[in-house]
Amino acid sequence: MTTVVANHFGGRHVLVTGGAGFLGSHLCEALLGRGARVTCWDNESTGSEENVAHLAVHPGFTYRPCDVTGPLPSVEHADVVMHLASIASPLAYARLPIDTLRSGSAGTLQMLELAAKHDARFVVSSTSEVYGDPEVHPQHEGYWGHVNPVGPRAVYDESKRFAEAAVVGARREWGVDAGIVRIFNTYGPRMAVDDGRVVPTFLDQAVRGLPLTVAGDGSQTRSLCYVDDTVEALVRMAACDVPGPVNVGNPDEHTILELAQVVVALTGSSSPIEHVPMPEDDPQRRRPDITRARTELGWEPTVPLRDGLRRTLDWYLARSPVR
């Protein structure tokens, strides 16, 4: 079991790629809060400098626009490299398939080379999508997955599968201290409402009084993890030498129809539920086995779904108040 000492990151330099994205911005914030110096790189293809604007006044924070698939800027010695640069939005990776593949392949290799040069701990954010539409439930790290390599989700799925293989290769050939985290459906403040993911979509529809669009009959399941919990797992992974892969997600499983009903009740909305066609290759069940995270990281989620949704809703309303 890994215990993160309170001052573990004190004075250490952490490089976060994709740091201006939804998850990356929360990670930068958490690392600064633990005493780290943080350099944030992002090409803003789906992230935004606005997500880290509040960190600009922090003396330990540096933001630099950077595409990890191209020439990299010089950077002072890094103790940890957190590689989150990725196009995770279904709508965005459908629009930018080649960029999605490049970030997981060329981008991952470049960052592994940088980690090797700096003798830094490296953590890559992989995804539950490596399991595809799983035939094993719940999904454990030993399961190889059921992925369609030529389907509409393939560019994202395969970019992450390549990234995991690259980590394994870099461990063997370059001796990189590298770990893999497989992240399951994370949600929370700073998620873009137009990126095609279910929580911001439902909240936005409910607040605006629009029908909540539930794919199929809504019986497909997801396991939703609040961003603070996911970030805590990433921080713990960065502070140890666990190789992974380690599933990071909430094992509480909910149907999409159930989620829609919770959102309607939480917002007090009069929005109806509208059933729409199922997207191709949409996973029917998704639930992590987090035994490894519990035993190797000493981690499990603590934020209940309704609490996390309420925090996300409060952020959304503060940013885009309904008039």
pLDDT digits (tens, 9 = 90+) for 239-298: 999 999 999 999 999 999 999 999 999 999 999 999 999 887 778 888 999 999 999 999
- Whole-number mean pLDDT of the chain? 93
Per-residue model confidence (pLDDT) at position 6: 59
Using the predicted structure, report yes or no on whether residue 86 has a pLDDT greater than 80.
yes
Alpha carbon distance 159, 146 (integer Å): 15
- Taking 70 as the threshold, does the pLDDT of residue 4 lie above it? no
Q: 319: closest CA among 175, 189, 200, 228?
A: 189
Task: Output helix, strand, coil percentages for the chain, rounded to the nearest 5.
Answer: 40, 15, 45
Query: Could you give the domains of the chain?
Result: 13-186+225-251+288-302 (3.40.50.720)
Distance, CA of 198 to CA of 315 (rounded, Å): 16
**Prediction pTM value:** 0.94
Residue 38: helix, strand or coil by DSSP? strand
Q: Is position 63 annotated as part of the catalytic site?
A: no
> What pLDDT score was predicted for residue 319?
83
pLDDT given at position 1: 45
Give the whole-number percent of the chain exceeding pLDDT 70.
97
Q: Are strands 212-215 and 13-17 parallel, antiparallel or unpaired?
A: unpaired
Query: Do 20 and 44 contact (CB within 8 A), yes or no?
Result: yes
Residue 82's DSSP bridge partners are: 16, 123
Residue 56 exposure: Cα atoms within 13 Å on the Cβ side? 8
- pLDDT band at residue 321 under the 50/70/90 scheme: low
* pLDDT on residue 286: 87
DSSP H or E stretch at residue 86: none
Token match 């980590």: residue?
167
Dmax (CA) of the chain: 58
Retrieve residue 245's tokens: 């892969």
Residue type, 225: C
Q: Catalytic one among 156, 187, 226, 316? A: 156
